[in-house]
A and B are shown apart, each in its own frame.
Chain A
């Protein structure tokens, strides 16, 4: 019997290949897009780490004034957390730091992780060679040891089988290799070597101690929310005890992949909602097409019922069509999603210079397959059960007698309205959300970072603490590097800074002379980006001077104290008064050194484009040298020539010093906007799909409805309604449906759009403009979808309309 029904369904589908192809493709689009979206975010944010008990590993990060900043937590705070919190076990701590490793062919920079000794035990992973750290090795003064990654072993040390107990130079100090981790092990994120975190906690004050990221296993049955509640209590208690350092400082727990979401959770939820909406939209469309087919076959069904077919049999017969369409469409969708995930792996890899996080392995994993199966079953039920139930449960006798020709049944009419309203609602919501995202991406990628990035090569170097232990040495290095580079092949000019405009910069809080601040450092002193830059570099980079003067030769000297501030700094701190000559000091260190403002420059953006509002202050590098140096080289030759010049110059000054992140200034900037551009492309694909599915769906349902009402139109015309009356009546029906679906759609869309504009700072005005434009767009679609079929029906003479079948 089942085979008979299956064959019958196949025959019906084969009879209308156009219908079959259309419904299959719509389903493929819906299933493919949503499977892709869910799988993508699962891989990035929700996947369990691939270790034994990997599902219970969590990380503890710091927040500031309630905002999840993904910052580190003071190790003394972390110790307090460890002592008080319930529901966590196996506490560990680490922090990341780039290190220079000397090798046979020169030094290279690696991602180092300074970790407590149990870091490997937390992941239940044993070294491939050698052993882990011991507790003794984490004490100050202990022998310097390192555990290296498989890649470092292979690439830097040539895969030497006798690597254990060899000494390697890390940041110019000798470390003994005690272990090699297995291939593919980069825990907690992109680590390439692991060094003991020296933590003699008893000897430290809060100001001196390092900040770390906590890791632990969460006990089964305990939720992250419960941990967060406890963390909040503990951190509040610490803040009361140490208001000077801890006011406004909080902590929160997430999974390690989940920590990447930060405050963008709203955006991520919105993306998931969008994915579900697309699926619903596709299901509604296919459901509607199947429903209209079922209605077409109403007479046939009624005859079957009259001949004694049981309802279950009728439903199963009609379900087969849905099963075939959803399965076939689903498989196509799954293949497309798999292809999309493969491409995503390549695209997301370009977001970073380092390899992406080790769990970012996109593809058809178990989660994706399970999700796919659930979605297929869901779509079969939505697309098949409705028409099947509708058509098998009606009064077959009424269908056979058919007393009121020319009019749609009340229930069918209501269902059609509901379909149109849902389509309007969903498309409106998705389009608004997608437009906000696209607009945010457009805006971010077009922000003026404050510098001219044309034809410029950038690179970074990190001076080791041991070799460059005095400020004089750092200044000397920077001056030497600059003058040698400027005489190098293909170099037009050289600019050095602790961070270039566009890059992340050190943040600090400051106080302005004569202004009063409350005692709590974290809440009252204004935060700024704090950049050290070679005196003439600002002008060369094109950061315009607005008031006063740039740094010049008179500013050289470690004892000098001049500072340049950005326009936004002036706006925030000096209302109606000139900042020139005013003094400020940095409050993050104990030394009180007043700095005189000598000029104002245009705003620069440092790091995340969302934080573009943060003011910046600049110091001459020759007054305040730093270990991290960003180099920008204006090129007058090919990039490869200049890169070579840079490498050779560095080698000649300090062979132990590698340069890294060598790329053009534009490439470096694009990395900051690449993720949002990618996400915005993704969501605009969803937006397009939504617009297409909704437009075709709304038109399909509307024309179907009006088509089914052709006789009704004929009757009304016979009774004296002219074309205008009919057109108005139908447009009004369309308009009412637009309101029913549109108002909630606008609310949902602006809700998601608001979440996004909060994250990306696109502003409420643009949100309103987007909402209005979307409403007009969808409104036009609905009105056209009503108008065109109505006019088509009106083209028939009333006598033909009355006999329309």
Chain B
């Protein structure tokens, strides 16, 4: 069985605005294996967030092929894309994107409610496990506005992992946090990775990028560097 989780071939993303064509991504070809911790970095506007949106099926590419777990997902229906996002992908956003009308427990439960195969009890257990993993179980009935930024992002992480997705996509997860809270969230990601999660993180913060075992650098919509670190560094960083 192949270990490849993501396979991109000649991916292009062009934005058309009136007379201008903007090539956000051109000719991206890369492979990400299961269990990898990948950081995608580059300067602002280089296309890293666009790449993450394509990986997360939040957007479609203009050209090229995308295989997720050996299935071509470049040309599937919106409904199928939604199903895959729900089952296979967990998102962590820079601005947390919790829903303010829902409390912590309901926020984490939200993606699970879109699954028809889960009973209420099963969902409850999954939510509890996820919250325990990020150490937010004691805040289950709080609303987002009652939490600090770091706590909100931990809830967002819990929401991302609650459904046991194949991979976690994080878009600048520490961008809105102070250094202490940022470190805590990064440690959480490292821990999840250590437990076997595939993580794909967009960041422009070199320190955060350092934590990943593989670093992809993007410039002007193209991959300009793709480094894999020695395993020892990775573990040392995680422990630190």
Using a CB–CB cutoff of 8 Å, the interface residues on chain A facing chain B are: 398, 401-410, 413, 711-712, 715-725, 797-800, 802
Contacts and interface: CB of A to CB of B under 8 A. Distances in A.
A646 B86 CA distance: 91
14 contacts: A405-B95, A405-B97, A712-B99, A715-B97, A716-B99, A717-B85, A718-B56, A718-B97, A719-B110, A720-B82, A720-B115, A725-B114, A802-B58, A802-B97
Contact of B100 (A410, A717, A719, A798): A410
For the residues of A in contact with B, the DSSP-based class is helix
B185 to A, nearest CB: 15
A719 B159 contact: yes
A408 B99 CA distance: 8
Contact of A720 (B83, B144, B147, B149): B83
Interface size class of B (residues with CB under 8 A): 20 to 34
A720 B169 CA distance: 14
Interface in B66-88: 78-79, 82-83, 85-87
B93 interface: yes
Contacts of A798: 53, 58-59, 85
A320 to B, nearest CB: 31
Nearest to A395: B145
Contacts of B85: 717-720, 798
Contacts of A410: 100-101
Given A718-B56, A719-B91, A723-B78, A407 B101 contact: yes
A711 B145 contact: no
Contacts of A401: 149
B211 interface: no
Nearest to A801: B58
A720 B93 contact: no
Contacts of A725: 82, 114
Contacts of B53: 797-799
A721 B79 contact: no
A535 B130 CA distance: 98
Contacts of B95: 402-403, 405-406
A379 to B, nearest CB: 31
B60 interface: yes
Contacts of B145: 398, 403-404
B137 interface: no
B82 A721 contact: yes
Nearest to A414: B101
Contacts of B58: 717-718, 797-799, 802
Q: Which 3 residue pairs are nearest across A and B when measured between Cβ atoms?
A: A720-B86, A722-B82, A799-B53
A409 B101 CA distance: 7
B203 interface: no
A712 B85 CA distance: 16
A612 B111 CA distance: 66
Contacts of B144: 403-404
B152 interface: yes
A404 B100 contact: yes
A639 to B, nearest CB: 70
Contact of A409 (B83, B100, B159): B100
Interface string B173-201: 00000000000000000000000000000
Contacts of A719: 85-86, 91, 110-111, 114, 159
A217 to B, nearest CB: 63
B37 interface: no
Given A719-B110, A802-B58, 13 more contacts: A403-B149, A403-B152, A717-B58, A718-B56, A718-B91, A719-B85, A719-B91, A720-B114, A722-B82, A723-B82, A724-B79, A798-B53, A799-B59
A725 B86 CA distance: 12
A711 B97 contact: yes
Contact of A403 (B59, B78, B96, B101): B96
Contacts of A799: 50, 53, 56, 58-59
B79 A723 contact: yes
Nearest to B80: A722
Contacts of B163: 720
Contacts of B79: 722-724
B98 interface: yes
Contacts of B96: 403-405
B114 A802 contact: no
Contacts of B87: 720
B132 to A, nearest CB: 20
A802 B97 CA distance: 8
Nearest to A410: B101
Nearest to A402: B95
Contacts of B56: 718, 799
Contacts of B50: 799
A710 to B, nearest CB: 12
A724 to B, nearest CB: 7
Residue among A409, A715, A720 with the most chain B CB within 10 A?
A: A720
Contacts of A802: 58, 93, 97
Residue among A401, A404, A406, A723 with the most chain B CB within 10 A?
A: A404
A463 to B, nearest CB: 82
Nearest to A803: B49
A725 B113 CA distance: 10
Contacts of B111: 719-720
